Structure 1
Amino acid sequence: MRTRLLAATLTAFAAVSLAACSSGSGSSGTAAGSPTTPPAATTSAPGTPTPGATGGTTGAPTTAAAPAAPTTPAVPPAGSPDGPASGSASPGAPDAPDTPAPPKPAPPADAGLPAKPGSDDTVRLVAALDAIDPAIVGGKPDQAVDRARNQCQSMYQFPKDRAKLVELANQRFTAPDHPQGFGTEKAEKILDALRATLCPPA
């Protein structure tokens, strides 16, 4: 009888203990089931968009990159090949004045003076002058040859000034009866005769 009462008591005690445990576990579950602290928001790096609730970006401003610092040109060291060498001529310097050309040498005194003609050329010259006027030679062939040679030199010096040559011929070829020359017409004929017989071609 005592055994049954002891068993019943233990059973009741076990039931009460079980109920208490169940109640405590429910409280613990409630406490355990209390709202938990939401996880900390993931920190996004500056400039990185954070996804929103609707899947879009939050539009956080993006940090602009800092501008690059200007580069200072390197200064070439003294004596470097990039810089102008000391003592070198400056570009654009005026050239030295040209040296004046030496003066043209004067022609020799006998320029254009023909050599004395031989006997045959002398005969031809005298015949050409006698054809113009026998008084031009006047029996003095050597004198006529000298005057003719001087006139040839003048013809060499003034090849294009016929008026001057006519004047000189009228001054050179004179005679006792013609101290002022034989006139312009005969002086021109003398020029033609000298060019054909004694004077070199122009």
Structure 2
Amino acid sequence: MRTRLLAATLTALAAVSLAACSSSGAGSDKATSAAGSPTTSATSAATPSGDATAPGATTPAAPAPDPAASTADGATGAPAPDAGASGAPAPAKPAPPADAGLPTKPGTDLTAKLVAALDAIDPAIVGGKPDQAVDRARSQCQSMYQFPKDKQKLADLANQRFTSADHPQGFGAEAAAKINEALLATLCPPAR
């Protein structure tokens, strides 16, 4: 996936560079790379001089990368080129999926353990609504996955999620810490 993204980025960069050169009349400054395909000269594409820059252009075009250096042979396992060497930015680290850290809906046994653990802290946390408590617990587990070191943020989120009619602002800092401990002991996946 990363190789395809890099190849697509480099292809787009080459197309933009070639289009800029052909529209400005700088077609005579082409060289042939080791692979035999034409590339633009780095000095003519990067230096705004007279005919080499399109009218109205504010920045010079980037040099086209060498196609032989920008591809990796997946069949032979040849290493992919260094993104800095080809002039293209390194691809961004992919973001974790939106459901990262979200545990699957628990079965009846695990739900009973979770409800018992929350009832031990305060019976009003579940308040006779185990399905709602499980949904809130799963969301809290996801936050624990995203912010494993931020105890204060996790306590604040527990107080926002676990509320009742008698506790609209949550059950307090001490109860929130106990809720988080109970979730780690029952429902939440291990820390990464």
Q: If the TM-score is normalised by the length of the shorter chain, which range does it land in?
A: 0.5 to 0.7
Unaligned runs of 5+ in 2: 1-31, 33-83
Within-5 A mapping of 1:64-79: none
What corresponds to 1:142 in structure 2?
Answer: 131
What corresponds to 2:151 in structure 1?
Answer: 162
What corresponds to 2:166 in structure 1?
Answer: 177
Please state if 1:132 is matched with 2:116.
Answer: no
Residues 96 and 198 of structure 1: CA distance in aligned 2, closer, same or farther (over 3 Å) = closer
Residues 96 and 186 of structure 1: CA distance in aligned 2, closer, same or farther (over 3 Å) = closer
Could you state the TM-score of these two structures normalised by the residue count of structure 1? 0.52
Within-5 A mapping of 1:30-41: none
Residues 102 and 148 of structure 1: CA distance in aligned 2, closer, same or farther (over 3 Å) = same
Within-5 A mapping of 1:67-146: 98-146=87-135
Q: Secondary structure at the match of 1:135?
A: helix
Q: Which has the larger radius of gyration?
A: 1
What corresponds to 1:200 in structure 2?
Answer: 189
Q: Of the two structures, which has the highest relative contact order with CA contacts closer than 8 Å and spacing of 6 or more?
A: 2
The alignment of Structure 1 onto Structure 2 pairs a total of residues equal to 113
Q: What's the CA shift for 1:109?
A: 1.1
Q: Deviations over 1:23-60 (max 9, x none)?
A: xxxxxxxxxxxxxxxxxxxxxxxxxxxxxxxxxxxxxx
Q: What is the CA–CA distance in structure 1 between the aligned matches of 2:85 and 2:138, rounded to whole Å?
A: 49
Q: Secondary structure at the match of 2:125?
A: coil
Instruction: Write out the 4+ residue segments of structure 1 that deviate beyond 3 Å after TM superposition.
Output: 95-98
Q: Secondary structure at the match of 1:136?
A: helix
Q: What's the CA shift for 1:96?
A: 5.6
Q: What's the CA shift for 1:158?
A: 0.4
Could you state the TM-score of these two structures normalised by the residue count of structure 2? 0.55
What corresponds to 2:142 in structure 1?
Answer: 153
- Provide the aligned C-alpha RMSD in A: 2.5
Q: Deviations over 1:111-143 (max 9, x none)?
A: 110000000000000000000000000000000
User: Percent identity, aligned pairs only?
Assistant: 78
Q: Deviations over 1:155-191 (max 9, x none)?
A: 0000111110010001100000000000000000000
